[in-house]
């Protein structure tokens, strides 16, 4: 059980912001899936019921994360990391692909996405690794050594292929390294190296590896190569009209929905773009489009203010932690949430490529909601234990 004195130190304003986002998400999911025209998504109440169930599971995971001091949790980073890697390997063999990438393991009527656990594992492992080397992190060797932690899950996630989740894991690494005090030029060098690797992945399909390497190695490299549909999704946002009925369709419909909402929106449950199923994945990847259409600029700004408050308080927790380990755990958790939100909203308004990343606490999806609550639990854990209690 949690000591009552610790519970008083919970950041209740931060907790209230997250609960408000979750309730807001349930409302928007209901709006996106409630009408008879959305029968392509199943029963109108199915998605809200499942999300509400996952919300309860997430709150349970959040509470469980608070029970133990984050130092004790960090000691388990190796078995947690190994479990995450093992699940990522399993999903490559038996994974299901309800949304394109074979990223899911079926659990009856539910689906578990192991890459969400991998994000938490990377946060814990990076914090444990960097927390013991805080004085050496300004050296390039230490920074590069820490890169091995996200490298393995990033490779396995890319093989699914799930490029968006790979970017999230990389963002967690950058956020943790930056707060740990790594030199800017070292991070810039890694960033440039990442761009070079991305360029290589872009052109891997043009290299005849089957003639140059053994078959197993050639098959792995062939899987790592970006597929044509991925290239199209990463570039179509520059000119969606180039393929208005294909790759550009999502972006065009999302912009139309958000634009039609204007200042105050069409009204809750009255959005025609979502109601008539013009917006693909409107309850998951493009939930922000439903917000913009139903509630307009004012509703979207209200939601953005909740995210801004969450991120501001999260960064505050990271900067005020009692030790480097707590600071790094908070940095990794808030980096994950910030990156998810920025990319999701950015792709909805056509300033970023479509990567399939959900909006934290708002989009439909149990695995991401669970991972978001665990990350939030780590954040609150660090905040509650920022000072030692005198008995």
Q: What is the pLDDT of residues 140-182, one digit of tens each?
A: 888 888 999 999 999 899 888 788 899 999 999 999 998 888 8
Q: Which two tokens stand for residue 336?
A: 């994950």
pTM of the model: 0.90
Average pLDDT across the chain, whole number? 85
Q: What is the DSSP letter of 242?
A: G
Extract the tokens encoding 44. Answer: 């109108």
Among candidate residues 271, 175, 171, 163, the one with its CA nearest the CA of residue 226: 163
The pLDDT of residue 321: 92
Asked whether the beta carbons of 189 and 383 are under 8 A apart, the reply is no
pLDDT of residue 218: 66
Output the CA torsion sign for 15, 296, 27, 278: negative
Q: Measured at the alpha carbon of residue 109, what is the angle toward residues 104 and 112, in degrees to the nearest 5?
A: 25
In this predicted structure, what is the pLDDT of residue 53?
93
According to the model, what pLDDT value does residue 245 have?
A: 76
Rounded Cα distance between 377 and 254, Å, is 32
CA angle (361, 337, 77) in 5-degree steps = 110
Check: CB of residue 330 under 8 Å from CB of residue 378: yes
> Hunting for tokens 């854990």 — which residue is that?
381
Q: Which of 310, 372, 315, 321 is nearest to 178 (CA)?
A: 315
Q: What is the DSSP letter of 364?
A: S
Each residue's pLDDT expressed in tens, for the chain with a length of 391 residues: 666 677 778 899 999 999 999 999 999 999 888 765 554 555 667 889 999 999 999 999 999 999 999 999 999 999 999 999 999 998 888 766 555 566 777 666 667 788 999 999 999 999 999 988 888 888 888 888 899 999 999 989 988 878 889 999 999 999 999 888 888 888 888 888 888 888 877 777 777 766 666 776 666 666 667 777 777 777 888 778 877 777 788 888 888 888 888 898 888 888 777 777 778 888 888 999 999 999 999 999 999 999 999 999 999 999 999 899 999 999 999 999 999 999 999 998 888 888 889 999 999 988 999 999 999 999 999 999 886 543 3
Residue 121: per-residue pLDDT:
96
Whether omega before 161 lies within 30 degrees of 0, making that bond cis, reads: yes
CA distance 320 to 285: 33
Per-residue tokens: 230: 């991925």
User: How far is it, in rounded angstroms, from Cα 296 to Cα 127?
Assistant: 40
Structure token pair of residue 337: 């949430």
Compute the residue count for the chain. Answer: 391
Concatenated DSSP letters for 108-168?
A: TTEEE-HHHHHHHHHHHHHHHHHHT-TTTTTSHHHHHHHTHHHHHHHHHHHTTT-HHHHHH
State residue 304's pLDDT score: 95
* Contact criterion met (CB below 8 Å) for 331 and 354: no
Find out whether the peptide bond into 182 is cis, omega within 30 degrees of 0: no
Q: What is the maximum span of the chain, computed from C-alpha positions, in angstroms?
A: 70
Written as six digits, the tokens of 140 are 């390039």
Q: What are phi and psi of 132, to 5 degrees?
A: -90, -5
CA distance 102 to 100: 7
């Amino acid at each position: 059980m949690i000591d009552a004195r610790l519970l008083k130190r919970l950041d209740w304003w931060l907790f209230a912001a997250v609960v408000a986002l979750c309730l807001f998400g349930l409302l928007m999911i209901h709006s996106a899936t409630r009408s008879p025209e959305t029968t392509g998504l199943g029963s109108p109440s199915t998605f809200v019921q499942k999300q509400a169930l996952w919300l309860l599971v997430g709150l349970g995971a959040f509470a469980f994360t608070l029970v133990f001091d984050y130092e004790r949790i960090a000691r388990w980073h190796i078995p947690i990391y190994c479990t995450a890697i093992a699940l990522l390997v399993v999903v490559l063999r038996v994974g299901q692909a309800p949304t394109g990438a074979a990223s899911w393991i079926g659990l009856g009527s539910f689906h578990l996405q192991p890459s969400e656990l991998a994000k938490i594992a990377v946060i814990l492992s990076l914090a444990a690794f960097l927390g013991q080397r805080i004085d050496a992190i300004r050296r390039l060797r230490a920074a590069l050594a820490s890169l091995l932690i996200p490298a393995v899950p990033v490779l396995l996630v890319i093989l699914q292929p799930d490029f968006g989740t790979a970017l999230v894991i990389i963002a967690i690494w950058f956020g943790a390294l930056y707060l740990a005090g790594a030199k800017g030029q070292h991070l810039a060098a890694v960033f440039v190296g990442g761009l070079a690797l991305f360029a290589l992945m872009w052109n891997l399909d043009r290299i005849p590896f089957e003639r140059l390497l053994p078959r197993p190695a050639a098959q792995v490299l062939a899987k790592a190569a970006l597929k044509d549909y991925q290239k199209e999704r990463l570039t179509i946002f520059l000119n969606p009209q180039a393929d208005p009925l294909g790759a550009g369709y999502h972006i065009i419909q999302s912009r139309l929905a958000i634009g039609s909402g204007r200042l105050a929106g069409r009204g809750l449950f009255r959005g025609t773009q979502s109601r008539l199923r013009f917006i693909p994945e409107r309850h998951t990847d493009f939930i922000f489009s439903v917000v913009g259409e139903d509630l307009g600029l004012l509703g979207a700004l209200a939601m953005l203010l909740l995210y801004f408050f969450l991120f501001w308080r999260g960064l505050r927790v990271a900067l005020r932690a009692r030790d480097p380990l707590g600071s790094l755990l908070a940095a990794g958790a808030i980096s994950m949430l910030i990156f998810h939100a920025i990319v999701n909203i950015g792709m909805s308004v056509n300033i970023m490529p479509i990567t399939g990343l959900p909006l934290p606490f708002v989009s439909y999806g149990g695995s991401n909601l669970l991972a978001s609550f665990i990350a939030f639990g780590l954040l609150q854990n660090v905040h509650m234990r920022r000072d030692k209690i005198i008995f």
